[in-house]
């Protein structure tokens, strides 16, 4: 029997007042696959991620995430999704350890999970410092840890390698990269790098689908055209 897609969007739309943020977006993502979303600023990429994370409701079309229809059963899937948003979603006056412990309690996880991630991301030396005192690169590593703390089935990643040097990228790759084995939706402004990690490429411009194809059939020229 065929496995249901991890993500199934059909004609999805979202607006902010009179402004259309997403218009008639349809895409299907198999379990374990990676969808990489390209497009200029304001194309609708972050809106799409927030909708998939059940933080925004679609105003048109239908959406099914991890087998559950949205928004009717969004409460069923929230705990199975990890979101790495652009703003990091951290309490800036708390330390990295305190932030992760707070989220661990929400998911009823043992503290050893927090310590494991702090060690794997090489954050232990700064674990007790308020996150407002950390560099952007260290903040990103804390945010990555928060997004995978509860071992989610679906990862939603908004420019996940932003502000990271090559060594830090290598540290987080096992947590959020293809090797993690999770279904992933990744936004990217890097045509070559994004295509290299994608199974499916989605290009948005003005909230509309300009490109949707298997990544192996897309070249960087087609992605670069979205930004012109």
For residues 139-164, give the mean pLDDT. 95
pLDDT of 1 above 50: no
Cα separation of 218 and 109, whole Å?
A: 41
12 within some domain: no
74 within some domain: no
* Mean pLDDT, residues 77-86 taken together: 93
Inform me whether the pLDDT recorded for 55 exceeds 80.
yes
Q: How many domains does the chain have?
A: 1
Top pLDDT among 2 and 169 is at 169
pLDDT of residue 2: 56
Maximal C-alpha separation, the chain: 52
Sole residue written with tokens 């374990």: 32
Q: Which residues form the domain of 190?
A: 30-55+80-227
Cα–Cα distance for residue pair 130/9, rounded to 1 Å: 39
For residue 184, which of 211, 152, 210 has the smallest C-alpha distance?
Answer: 152
Q: Is the pLDDT of residue 88 over 80?
A: no
What's the rounded Cα separation, in Å, for the pair 90 and 73? 26
Each residue's pLDDT tens digit, 19-40: 999 999 999 999 999 999 999 9
With respect to residue 10, please indicate whether it lies within any of the assigned structural domains: no
pLDDT digits (tens, 9 = 90+) for 104-140: 999 999 999 999 999 999 999 999 999 999 999 999 9
In a domain, 8, yes or no: no
Structure tokens of 4?
């249901």
Does any domain span residue 21? no
CATH number of domain containing 129: 3.40.50.300
pTM: 0.94
Is residue 94 predicted with pLDDT exceeding 80?
Answer: yes
Cβ-based neighbour number of residue 19 at 10 Å:
9
pLDDT surpasses 60 at 62: yes
Residue 15 lies in a domain: no
Closest CA to 121 of 154, 65, 170: 170
| Model confidence pLDDT, tens digit, residues 171-216 | 999 999 999 999 999 999 999 999 999 999 999 999 999 999 999 9
**Does 166 score more than 50 pLDDT?**
yes
Residue 71 falls within a domain, yes or no?
Answer: no
CA geometry: angle 117, 121, 125, nearest 5 deg: 95
The predicted pLDDT at position 175 comes to 96
What is the average pLDDT value for the chain, to the nearest integer? Answer: 94
- pLDDT given for residue 101 in this prediction: 97
Pairing of strands 60-65, 81-84: unpaired
> Is there a domain that residue 197 lies in?
yes
């Amino acid at each position: 029997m065929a496995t249901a897609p991890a993500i199934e969007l059909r004609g999805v739309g979202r607006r902010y007042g009179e402004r259309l943020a997403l218009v008639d977006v349809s895409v299907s993502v198999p379990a374990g696959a990676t969808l990489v979303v390209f497009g200029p600023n304001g194309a609708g990429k972050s809106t799409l991620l927030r909708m998939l994370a059940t933080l925004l409701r679609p105003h048109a079309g239908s959406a099914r995430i991890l087998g559950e229809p949205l928004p009717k059963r969004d409460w069923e899937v929230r705990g199975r999704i990890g979101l790495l948003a652009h703003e990091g979603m951290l309490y800036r006056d708390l330390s990295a350890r305190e932030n992760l412990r707070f989220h661990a309690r929400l998911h009823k996880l043992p503290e050893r999970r927090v310590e494991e991630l702090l060690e794997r991301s090489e954050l232990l030396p700064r674990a007790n410092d308020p996150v407002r005192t950390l560099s952007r690169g260290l903040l990103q590593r804390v945010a990555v840890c928060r997004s995978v703390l509860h071992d989610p089935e679906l990862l939603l990643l908004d420019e996940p390698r932003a502000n990271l040097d090559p060594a830090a990228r290598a540290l987080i790759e096992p947590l959020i990269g293809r090797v993690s084995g999770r279904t992933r939706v990744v936004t990217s402004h890097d045509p070559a790098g994004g295509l290299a990690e994608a199974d499916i490429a989605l290009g948005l411009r003005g909230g509309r689908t300009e490109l949707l194809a298997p990544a192996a059939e897309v070249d960087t020229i087609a992605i670069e055209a979205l930004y012109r």
